[in-house]
Amino acid sequence: MDFTGELHGRLVLPHDPDWPTARMAWQLAVDQRPSAVVFAASAQDVSATVVAARHLGLRVAPQGTGHNAAPLGPLDRTILLRTDHLGEVSIDPLTRIARVGAGARWIQVTDAASKYGLMALAGSAADVGVVGYTLGGGVSWFARSHGLAANQVVAADVVLADGTLVRADAGNHPDLFWALRGGGGIAGIVTALEFRLFPMTETQAGLLAWPIERAPAVLAAWRRWVDEVPDQVTSVGRMLRLPPLPDLPEPLRGRSLVAVEAVCDLPAPQADTLLAPLRALAPELDTFGTTAVSDLHLLHMDPPHPVPAAGDGMLLSGLPSGALAAFLGMTGAGRDLPLLTVELRHLGGALRPGAVKGGAVDGLDAEFALFAAGITPDAASVVAVHAVLDELRTAMSPWEAATGYRNFAERSRGRFDRPEVEARLRAVKSAYDPDDLIHANHPLPSAQ
Ligand SMILES: Cc1cc2nc3c(=O)[nH]c(=O)nc-3n(C[C@H](O)[C@H](O)[C@H](O)COP(=O)(O)OP(=O)(O)OC[C@H]3O[C@@H](n4cnc5c(N)ncnc54)[C@H](O)[C@@H]3O)c2cc1C
């Protein structure tokens, strides 16, 4: 295989000295073994890779960071197309539109937008890829007030499965444009994305934490609290078993905690009043206060660099007392769990389907999103974490919603969409990539 003459970027093959690092995903535990890795330097490189792959009878798996590499499965007869170097980020402060290359990470966008007093619907982690996150939906700290990130996309530059570069927007390739907004990267390879930003520089945000033994009282109070809060409040209730890592703030290192993290897009006095019932439980740690929007990537304490880890998630249609009891039975202080985090993100508000329109996935038809993850430095820990993730899924399955969420799915391969959405996505895939050249992490389920 050699199409290097056509590339501005780099082709790395298994015999090259940097093969071991070139094939690495952010999720270090995922052992990616593609036929080749291309680091694209331009949209033309993406196009050349697609044309070469077609000629060679190979598939192409686009990857920004590899945060969600686990579900890709085997990559034999596949070119791993890394977009790391397509990192352009430009902000138009007049139209409040960001244009980002396929390799941009959230921290680049939140930093650039904040210079103009603008906020993006970024995820919790600084180094998650903007494009992978947004194609899969995108649940941000402003999800309940602004909906999914995918629904704010106004255009995408896309290389199609025949190598053609097109612009997809409301007037051009409208079906492809629809599919890209929440349906994942099934039908084309995005080289740049344009999306709306919002005027905001600071907000009320922080974390309240208690020893994990307090979890039954704290999560029951949080569960009652989320029924009362307005849509400007997006919060997470989580169980943390933190390793003694220097990356973590000193008071949290090596601790097992129950925590509530929240962003309240409200004036400070109103946010303080709202928090009173949780503060009445006397948290050991309370960081809540006025926070720069550009600092929100620190709130969830996601690892700031690649890690060997395994995780999985599911949507819950509700969290009645039986569900909370099942959750606590699985994750409470009595269990010695190999999970760093088990979290419940409160949905609803502007995430209700159709509340913010625009794209294949225009909301999440569920009340909570569950996500859990553990560190997996060796084969034995992978087995242990997978076993607990499966156990957690089984315990919570009575409350599982009818649809799923691509971004939090790393192990499960269920159905994500309502049948009519899945049928339309299937039609778009057939029209744009009939030979299934593009290898997405979440392919459509096989047709019945
Ligand atoms: C620490 C951490 C924190 C997270 N926080 C959040 C959060 O707050 N909210 C949330 O919603 N999700 C969150 N996620 C999930 C995250 O959104 C998904 O893992 C997402 O898929 C990551 O996108 P990526 O580009 O970084 O990953 P990648 O693994 O590089 O990409 C995932 C998939 O996206 C598709 N894709 C990527 N680039 C392209 C492209 N250029 N063209 C076409 N398809 C493409 C491919 O199918 C690829 O397999 C988090 C994940 C982690 C590990």
Q: Are residues 72 and 123 in the same domain?
A: no
Q: Are residues 298 and 163 in the same domain?
A: no
Give pLDDT, residue 204: 98
| Element (DSSP H or E) covering residue 230 | none
Domain CATH number, residue 156? 3.30.465.10
DSSP calls for 237-284: EEEEE----TTS-GGGTT-EEEEEEEEE-S-HHHHHHHHHHHHTT--S
Q: Determine, yes or no, domain membership for 76.
A: yes
CA of 408 to the centre of ligand 1 (A): 9
Q: Are residues 222 and 177 in the same domain?
A: no
Sign of dihedral through CA atoms 425, 404, 446, 128?
A: positive
Q: What is the 3-state secondary structure (H, E, C) of 118-144?
A: EECCCCCCCCCEHHHHHHCCCCCCCHH
CA of 98 to the centre of ligand 1 (A): 18
CA of 34 to the centre of ligand 1 (A): 19
| pLDDT tens-digit series, residues 354-384 | 999 999 999 999 999 999 999 999 999 999 9
Radius of gyration of the chain (CA): 21
Neighbours of 57 (CB within 10 A): 9
What burial class does residue 28 get, using C-beta atoms within 10 Å of its C-beta: 0-12 exposed, 13-18 middle, 19+ buried?
Answer: middle
Alpha helices for 262-335 (secondary structure H) = 268-279, 321-331
Number of domains in the chain: 3
At 224, list the tokens: 């009652």
Cα separation, 62 vs 32, whole angstroms: 13
Q: Are residues 170 and 218 in the same domain?
A: no
Instruction: Please report, as a single letter, which amino acid is at residue 444.
Output: L
User: Which of 49, 64, 82 is the last residue before a domain boundary?
Assistant: 82
User: Which of 27, 50, 82 is the last residue before a domain boundary?
Assistant: 82
User: Which of 82, 97, 114 is the last residue before a domain boundary?
Assistant: 82
Q: Determine, yes or no, domain membership for 167.
A: yes
CA of 332 to the centre of ligand 1 (A): 29
Q: Determine, yes or no, domain membership for 437.
A: no
Give pLDDT, residue 252: 83
Indicate the top mutation candidate among 60, 68, 127, 144 to test ligand 1's pocket, ranked by most ligand atoms within 8 A of CB. 68
Q: Determine, yes or no, domain membership for 447.
A: no
Q: Which residue's alpha carbon is nearest to atom 52 within ligand 1? A: 67
- Residue 196, classed as helix, strand or coil, is strand
Q: Are residues 115 and 54 in the same domain?
A: no
Q: Determine, yes or no, domain membership for 163.
A: yes
Closest CA to 117 of 185, 178, 20, 198: 198
Q: Determine, yes or no, domain membership for 440.
A: no
CA of 129 to the centre of ligand 1 (A): 6
124 lines ligand 1 (CB under 6 A): yes
147 lines ligand 1 (CB under 6 A): no
Give pLDDT, residue 148: 98
Q: Are residues 174 and 127 in the same domain?
A: yes
Give pLDDT, residue 135: 98
Q: Using an 8 Å Cβ cutoff, are 252 and 207 in contact?
A: no
Q: Are residues 256 and 388 in the same domain?
A: yes
Q: Are residues 191 and 73 in the same domain?
A: no
Give pLDDT, residue 5: 74
Mean pLDDT for each 10-residue chunk of the chain (448 residues)? 81 97 97 97 97 97 97 96 97 98 98 98 97 98 98 98 98 98 97 98 97 98 98 98 83 92 97 97 97 96 92 97 97 94 98 96 98 96 96 97 96 87 97 97 80
The partner residues of 280 in beta bridges, in order of sequence, read none
Q: Which residue's alpha carbon is nearest to atom 37 within ligand 1? A: 132
CA of 278 to the centre of ligand 1 (A): 32
Neighbours of 338 (CB within 10 A): 20
Q: Determine, yes or no, domain membership for 442.
A: no
CA of 68 to the centre of ligand 1 (A): 5
At 204, list the tokens: 């009320």
Give pLDDT, residue 2: 67
Domain that holds residue 19: 7-82
Domain CATH number, residue 64? 3.30.43.10
Q: Are residues 255 and 345 in the same domain?
A: yes
183 lines ligand 1 (CB under 6 A): no
Residues contacting 82, CB < 8 A, separation 6+: 22, 37, 38, 39, 40, 63, 64, 103
Q: Are residues 232 and 344 in the same domain?
A: yes
Q: Are residues 332 and 382 in the same domain?
A: yes
Backbone angles phi, psi at 305, to 5 degrees: -150, 170
Indicate the top mutation candidate among 133, 146, 302 to test ligand 1's pocket, ranked by most ligand atoms within 8 A of CB. 133
Give pLDDT, residue 1: 65
Question: Both ends of the chain: CA-CA distance in Å?
Answer: 37
Supply angle C-alpha 122, 125, 130, rounded to 5: 45
Quick one: CA torsion of 397, 398, 403, 406, rounded to 10 degrees?
-20
Q: Are residues 104 and 23 in the same domain?
A: no
Q: Determine, yes or no, domain membership for 445.
A: no
Residue 71 Cα: closest atom of ligand 1: 49
Domain CATH number, residue 354? 3.40.462.20
Cα separation, 274 vs 268, whole angstroms: 10
CA of 133 to the centre of ligand 1 (A): 4
Residues contacting 448, CB < 8 A, separation 6+: none
Give pLDDT, residue 247: 75
Q: Using an 8 Å Cβ cutoff, are 199 and 117 in contact?
A: yes
